[in-house]
Amino acid sequence: MVQHYSAHVNASFAALADATRRGVLDQLARGDASITDLADKFEMTLTGMKKHDGVLELAGLVTTEKIGRVRTCRIGPSRLEREMAWIARYRQVWDARFEALDGVIDELKREEQARGRKQRK
């Protein structure tokens, strides 16, 4: 079996697996912010926020630019396209699978009813 490995998708989902990092993305989607602003907003040390920012940067979800002593964070370039596509496709297969199961159950019910009618005759 061919195993599709995607380090980028791994990094993105890992970055999203933390409520603070999702909060940071929500915040940056509304406007750029410095690491200091973010640390304040999320009641976190600068070191802690830098770590979260590093994880988001590795996943391509945030870019930072240092001007003078201020490091400004903004969202992008990743728009989570591959991650969205993966989940969408999975849900599609999921739905198809359970529709098929529903079909089998309906079929069994019909057969049972047919048997019931035969026995009553």
- Report if residue 104 touches its own copies, rule: CB under 8 A: no
Q: Which amino acid is it at 72?
A: T
45 counts as binding its own copies under rule CB under 8 A? no
Shortest approach of its own copies to residue 121 CB, angstroms? 37
Q: How many residues bind its own copies (CB under 8 A)?
A: 40
Decide if residue 33 touches its own copies (CB under 8 A).
Answer: no
Residue 36 touching its own copies (CB under 8 A): no
Q: What burial letters (b/e) apply to 73-86, b meaning 16+ CB within 10 Å?
A: bebeebebeebeeb
What residues from 56 to 85 belong to the interface with its own copies (CB under 8 A)?
75-76, 79-80, 83-84
Q: Is 16 in the site for its own copies (CB under 8 A)?
A: yes
Determine the Cα–Cα distance for residues 42 and 74; give it in Å rounded to an integer. 16
Give yes or no for residue 5 binding its own copies (CB under 8 A).
Answer: yes
d(CA 121, CA 114): 11
Q: Is 53 in the site for its own copies (CB under 8 A)?
A: no
